[in-house]
Amino acid sequence: MEMFSFLPCGLVCLAATGCLAPPPEAVAAAKSAPEGSEASVPEPSGGPPPADDKAAPDVSKPLVVWNGDDVNPTSKGWSDCDTKPCVSTVEPAAKSGSKDSMGLEFRVDISKGWAGFGWNFTSWYAPAAADATGRKTLKVMLKITAENADLAPAVDALQIGLRCAKTKQCNTGLQNLKKYEPKIADGQWHELSIPLGDMKPEKGSIWDPGSVWELNLSRWSPYP
């Protein structure tokens, strides 16, 4: 996921570059392998492959789910807010990501309440969903800027999550991004490394790491 921007009644930019990183043991195995040899990658957590002999995913390299340029460029998104009237849009924008890359810009004008968006890597085509089995970390590049402090989102209220294609209730998420980068609201780029183990399914939902297809970000505030 390259870039996300967020505008609650003023300029607030959230930019994100994301990939699902391999577990640390896989990286260590690859680095320690003699030159010219094949690294031995530990088996993903959760046991052996299913009985249908489906090959286990290769977790030795990062899995880029969307970068705005050459990975799933036909991805699609949705955006909404719960206090009407409100205006919200989400769309790719050239040179709005880190290092002038393609970004994803989310704009919302709302007096108070909840606002959020989702970016679906596969345009809701379930067979193309990413297999994150064995992955340990979600990495997201994030930048927040605001015209003034009063219009900046409360960082503690920002929520990030992932959805999967298995059912409509298939999701997992967390709150308080400041835990992963205390300076997240300083107007600079930061790479968040979020352990997938910290993200929990919402009440009444399930989670299927084998069919990840959407990133969500939202916030709630009693102010504009």
Model pLDDT for residues 149-175, shown as the tens digit of each residue: 777 777 888 899 999 999 999 999 998
Question: 212, 213, 179: which is closest to 198 by C-alpha?
Answer: 179
Predicted pLDDT at 185: 82
Model confidence over 119-153: pLDDT tens digits? 998 999 999 999 999 999 999 888 887 777 777 77
Q: DSSP character for 83?
A: S
Q: Is the residue at 100 inside a domain?
A: yes
- Edge to edge, the sheet with strand 76-81 lists 76-81, 113-120, 212-221, 159-164, 171-175
For the chain, give the percent of residues with pLDDT over 90. 33
- Model pLDDT, residue 212: 96
* Residue 52 forms part of a structural domain: no
Q: Is residue 145 part of a domain?
A: yes
User: Is 41 domain-assigned?
Assistant: no
Contact present, 7 and 150 (Cβ < 8 Å) = no
Q: Please determine, for residue 46, whether its predicted confidence score (pLDDT) is greater than 90.
A: no
Residue 140 in tokens: 């997201």
Which residue shows structure tokens 């052996």?
48
Q: What is the CATH number of the domain that holds 80?
A: 2.60.120.430
Q: Are 121 and 177 in contact (CB under 8 A)?
A: no
Domain of 138 in residue numbering reads as 18-25+58-221
Query: How many structural domains comprise the chain?
Result: 1
pLDDT at res. 73: 64
Confidence of residue 53 (pLDDT cuts 50, 70, 90): low
Look over the chain and give the mean of its residue pLDDT values, rounded to a whole number.
76
- Whether 115 and 86 have beta carbons less than 8 Å apart is answered as yes
> 30: burial class by Cβ within 10 Å (0-12, 13-18, 19+)?
middle
Answer yes or no: are the C-beta atoms of 1 and 119 closer than 8 Å.
Answer: yes
